Structure 1
Amino acid sequence: MGEVAGERLVSILSPILLLVLWEGAGRFGLLDVRFFPPPTAIAQAFPTLLASGELWDDTLVSLGRIAIGFLIGAVPGLVLGLAMGLSRYLRAALNPMVGALYPIPKSAILPLLILVFGTGETSKYAIVASGVFFLVLLNTVAGVLSIEPVYLDVGRNFGAGRLQTFLTVALPGALPLVFTGIRLAWGTALILIVVGEIFVSRSGLGYLINNSYQTFQVEKMYAGLIVLSAIGYLSFLLLDELQRWLIPWRGARAV
């Protein structure tokens, strides 16, 4: 078995092993099934949720919000990160603001976003974008700064303009760390959309989880959590494959 095939097998088997251990702990009384129902009990909640369309609808709503918010945050973060990595003056001008704003927990600015954008979809896009932007930005800057200066010099010596330097030197050279930022940002987007939906939404997986908690439908609550976990897991597998395709000389490395 090759190294890549071995990695894929471990990635598939590790969640299955976790479910087996969870089921065994519940059945042998090691966990309180009122709060930690075994996977088989949770699985029984899925047919009802799927038949009613509730789970599908909430999942699609959350994915749509994540996708839009992610693009709003990632594209400017990537472009500005490339620019900051290439320009020491721009870096010097913006680093203080980035250093001041990045550490603020993005969930803490949700009240401000609601005040500015209201309780509609825009505030949910904004909270996702606020978390995604900084992670993509910082990793892109780090990626550009990790490029050997000789490559930038060679590009300039061959007459590459700013746009060509952006696209043919800075972006390819920064891609490994850009992907690290994208992986981190996607996970953060999942967290932030749930926070937003818990507080200011009547739809989405965050609302489903919170409503199930309030009505003590524990199996339904766990069903929502499992869907979130599955989205994260499948997304990371997809990003791994995309990274192997775009950066074959580096391979994929889990974060």
Structure 2
Amino acid sequence: MSVSTSTSTVVEYTPDRRAQRGPGRVFQALSSPWGSLVPVVVLLALWQLGSVVGWIDKTFFPPPVDCFTALVNLITHGDLLVNIGITIQRVLFGFALGVVPAVVVGITMGLLPWARVVVDPIISILYPIPAVALLPLLLVIFGTGSTPIVVLAGIISFFPTAVNSMAGVLQNDRRLTQMARNLGSSRGQLLGKVVLPGALPSIFAGIRLSAGLALLGVIAGEFLAGSDGIGSLTWQYWQVYQITNMYATLAVIAAMGFTLTTVTLRIQRRYFNWTEGNS
């Protein structure tokens, strides 16, 4: 009696690591601060080509090379750097004025139900109001100068951080909080070791939004009520129809916004990298 056995060969599929590394490296490169500028450079190149060929009207959309030349002239022969410094100072003051109390208010609303009941309706009423519409009121209260512009930036940057801070606290795992209480944690320990670490991802998301909105508030204030700053300079160039200079200052504003959001992201990754999870 003979017993015949048959064996089957199982072939495991192993994905090509080189194929995986290729797109991954490209994605990593484009996700870096310098890599994220690649789409901008491509857009500017197409803009320049369109201007040279004649597809784009140079009257309204001057070539990027001409705008860059105007930017160099404003830096070397104009007062662009002085106005940039004024705007940066206003943005930082407005950002601090809005974000610092927003984190405190948001965490308090998340921890205390009565605070949420009192403050949340006020935020719901004020948040939809266009902040620029408040500028005339701020001019009446504070007069002209930098103060109403800084306050406007603070108001705009307050709401995203406050709402995100409250949401971060409310999204904390209740089981962790209860476990910490059962282990005898004090209120300070509970706040510092459980609540805040769990809420930090949402808080930083709000801070990044507020950084860009603070710049938005300052530029809007300088457009309408400023006598100096990069926003006021842009408005002046529009009034006298110096288009290349106007585009040059707009490029500076875009660079400032990019720098603000990039710096806040780098701070998060440097000191609180765990808040990004696996992303």
Would you say same fold, with TM above 0.5? yes
Query: What TM-score, normalized by structure 1, do the two folds share?
Result: 0.93
Listed as ranges, the matches of 1:86-235 within 5 Å are 86-235=111-260
Matched AA of 1:41: D
Q: Partner of 2:273: helix, strand, or coil? A: coil
Give 1:75's match in structure 2, choosing from 100, 123, 145.
100
In 1: Cα distance, 2:200 partner to 2:127 partner: 22
Identity of matched residues, %: 35
- Structure 1 residue 19 and structure 2 residue 44: aligned? yes
In 2: Cα distance, 1:10 partner to 1:32 partner: 30
Contact 2:71 2:249 (C-alpha < 8 Å) held by counterparts: no
Shift of 1:169: 2.1
In 1: Cα distance, 2:105 partner to 2:142 partner: 24
In 2: Cα distance, 1:253 partner to 1:188 partner: 27
Aligned to 2:22: none
Structure (1 or 2) with the larger CA radius of gyration = 2
Query: What TM-score, normalized by structure 2, do the two folds share?
Result: 0.85
Greater Cα offset, 231-240 or 221-230: 231-240
Shift of 1:25: 1.9
In 2: Cα distance, 1:152 partner to 1:82 partner: 15
Contact 2:212 2:260 (C-alpha < 8 Å) held by counterparts: no
In 1: Cα distance, 2:149 partner to 2:197 partner: 32
Inter-CA distance 95–253: structure 2 relative to 1 (3 Å threshold): farther
Q: Partner of 1:44: helix, strand, or coil? A: helix
Matched AA of 1:164: Q
In 1: Cα distance, 2:77 partner to 2:176 partner: 57
In 1: Cα distance, 2:189 partner to 2:153 partner: 31
Contact 1:240 1:252 (C-alpha < 8 Å) held by counterparts: no
CA RMSD of aligned residues (A): 2.0
Inter-CA distance 6–50: structure 2 relative to 1 (3 Å threshold): closer
- Structure 1 residue 47 and structure 2 residue 47: aligned? no
Matched AA of 1:229: A
Inter-CA distance 23–56: structure 2 relative to 1 (3 Å threshold): same
In 2: Cα distance, 1:208 partner to 1:27 partner: 28
Inter-CA distance 252–39: structure 2 relative to 1 (3 Å threshold): farther
Inter-CA distance 27–65: structure 2 relative to 1 (3 Å threshold): same
Greater Cα offset, 74-83 or 26-35: 26-35
Q: Partner of 2:178: helix, strand, or coil? A: helix
Shift of 1:253: 10
Give 1:7's match in structure 2, choosing from 31, 35, 50.
31
Contact 2:99 2:157 (C-alpha < 8 Å) held by counterparts: yes
In 2: Cα distance, 1:220 partner to 1:84 partner: 46
Q: Partner of 1:249: helix, strand, or coil? A: helix
In 2: Cα distance, 1:141 partner to 1:98 partner: 12
- The 4+ residue runs of structure 1 with deviation greater than 4 A are none
Shift of 1:209: 0.4
Note the alpha carbon deviations across 1:7-55, whole angstroms, 9 max, x for none: 2164131221121121112222222111111110101112221113511
Inter-CA distance 2–168: structure 2 relative to 1 (3 Å threshold): farther
Greater Cα offset, 49-58 or 165-174: 165-174
Shift of 1:194: 1.0
Aligned to 1:241: 266
Gaps of 5+ in 2: 1-24
Aligned pair count reads 254
